[in-house]
Structure 1
Amino acid sequence: MPESKTTDPQLVDDAHGRAAEAFAERARAACGEELEGLYVFGSTISGEAADLSSDVDVLVVLADGKRETAADRLRDLAYDVMIEYGPVVELHVLSVSTFEQYQREGNPFVERVISEGRVYA
């Protein structure tokens, strides 16, 4: 998995950026070693997020065999972050083996997330 990138100070200045930061921090704390990768992508990263009509797109990659139990926790965290910060956290969850398979196959969604997204874990 790629190394975590540093936080962009500009990103933290808006509700979408604050929601992304809060979700990433809570996901790392809640999932620990189950968390293989966390990417924020879409309008939050491109700077095109506009009011609450835009969501915070997140892809979480979890260790094989841990997807279902950790995904439930992550959905709860996404809801809590939405209540606190406003923007909806649109959560996508893949196991690490599926993520790697999609990478090998050139899956357009995974390629876009990797090329345009920011790594948080």
Structure 2
Amino acid sequence: MSRKLNKAVSDYMRLLRKHYSSKILTAVLFGSVARGKFNKESDADILIIVSDSDKKMKDEISMSAYEIMLKNDVVLSPVVMDKNTFDWYRRNKDPFYKNVRKDGIEIWTKTQKSSLKSA
């Protein structure tokens, strides 16, 4: 991951911890950056698993990436999903879940038991 993209991801996680730490269970970097197959145009795909399905909060978490993107001139692509939805993807062996489980790098977890490894 480029230094600039790494800084942006770190800044984003810091912002989320400050404002949403009680709601976020896990954050996982996935996609080309996690696989190590990125280029200067790559975005950072970040799955953020939250404790509840409050749409307003999920939208706020997604939108807060824009401030970081503008400041760092990079693209962050957050996917905010509540735990029940993520568990459904896991139970049904959804391709999205398989991709995240295979290539994902946990960059923040609130619980001792990882949401990714519980399948």
**What TM-score, normalized by structure 2, do the two folds share?**
0.80
1:43-101 CA-partner distances (Å, limit 9, x unpaired): 222232211x21110111111233x1222221232101111212111121111001011
Alignment of 1:63-102 (within 5 A): 63-66=51-54, 68-102=55-89
Contact 2:33 2:44 in 1 (8 A): yes
Q: Which ranges of structure 2 fall in alignment gaps of 5 or more residues? A: 109-119
- Give 3-state SS (helix, strand or coil) of 2:22's partner: helix
- 1:102 positional shift: 0.7
Identity percentage over the alignment? Answer: 23
What is the RMSD of the two structures over their aligned residues, measured on CA atoms?
A: 1.6
Q: Tell me the equivalent position of 1:25.
A: 14
**What TM-score, normalized by structure 1, do the two folds share?**
0.79
Contact 1:39 1:119 in 2 (8 A): yes
The aligned length equals 108
How many angstroms apart in 1 are the aligned matches of 2:57 and 2:97?
20
How many angstroms apart in 2 are the aligned matches of 1:43 and 1:84?
22
User: Which letter does structure 1 place at the counterpart of 2:5?
Assistant: H
Q: Tell me the equivalent position of 2:23.
A: 34
Q: Which ranges of structure 1 fall in alignment gaps of 5 or more residues? A: 1-10
